[in-house]
Amino acid sequence: MSMKNFLVLIFILSLTSCEYLNVKKTSSEAILQEELQTFNWNEVDEYPSFSKCETSISKAERTLCFQQTITKNIIDYLLSEHIVVTQDIKDTIMLHFRVTKNGELLLLQSKIDSLTTQEIPNIKQLLNKSLDTLPKIFPAIKRGQHVTTEFKLPIVIHVN
């Protein structure tokens, strides 16, 4: 074997066995996808809010203010409708909401007792209309970005 062949063989071996040439290319999209998988989307830095809740100091107080504002708005709206029933109703309705990253509040699902549905057949429409009267919602924030969030809220309805 000549010296030239020997050097070519050494060069080829060094190229195939060297890990330095195995450079992993990462694009910004791959980094973003990896980051999105590590996010805990159930935890946000700031929950959705109304302007009147912004004066609350802690995150828990702002969350409570947000939930109380929605609850009060729904109850007030239902009271203004002067609902007439033949049987007394005391029901806890579980509402499942989504606040989009644009600040839109959507009622995704509602668990309503059959007696309540029987006595107030248009209860779902009334609930949706009550949401139209809410003030502007500021969406949740995660790492400085507006994000879509979902939450459940119980509403106690008492009609006699």
**pLDDT value, residue 157:** 85
**101 in a structural domain:** yes
Tell me: do 105 and 142 sit in the same domain. yes
Residue ranges of alpha helices (H) inside 18-58 are: 28-38
Q: Are 30 and 65 found together in one domain?
A: no
Look at the chain and report how many structural domains it folds into. Answer: 2
On the 0-12 / 13-18 / 19+ scale of CB atoms within 10 A, 28 is exposed
Residues 53 and 28 in one domain: no
Per-residue pLDDT tens, the chain, 160 aa: give them. Answer: 667 776 666 666 665 555 554 555 556 666 656 655 555 545 788 889 999 988 878 888 988 999 999 999 999 998 898 888 888 888 899 999 999 999 999 999 999 988 889 988 999 999 999 999 899 999 999 888 899 999 999 988 888 8
Q: Kindly state whether residues 89 and 34 are assigned to the same domain.
A: no
Residue-number span of the structural domain to which 7 is assigned: 3-38
Rounded Cα gap, residues 111 and 96, in angstroms: 9
Neighbours of 110 (CB within 10 A): 16
Q: 98 and 133, same structural domain?
A: yes
- Considering the domain architecture, whether residues 61 and 118 belong to the same structural domain is answered as yes
User: What is the structure's pLDDT at 37?
Assistant: 55
Q: Are residues 20 and 84 in the same domain?
A: no
Q: 99 in a domain, yes or no?
A: yes
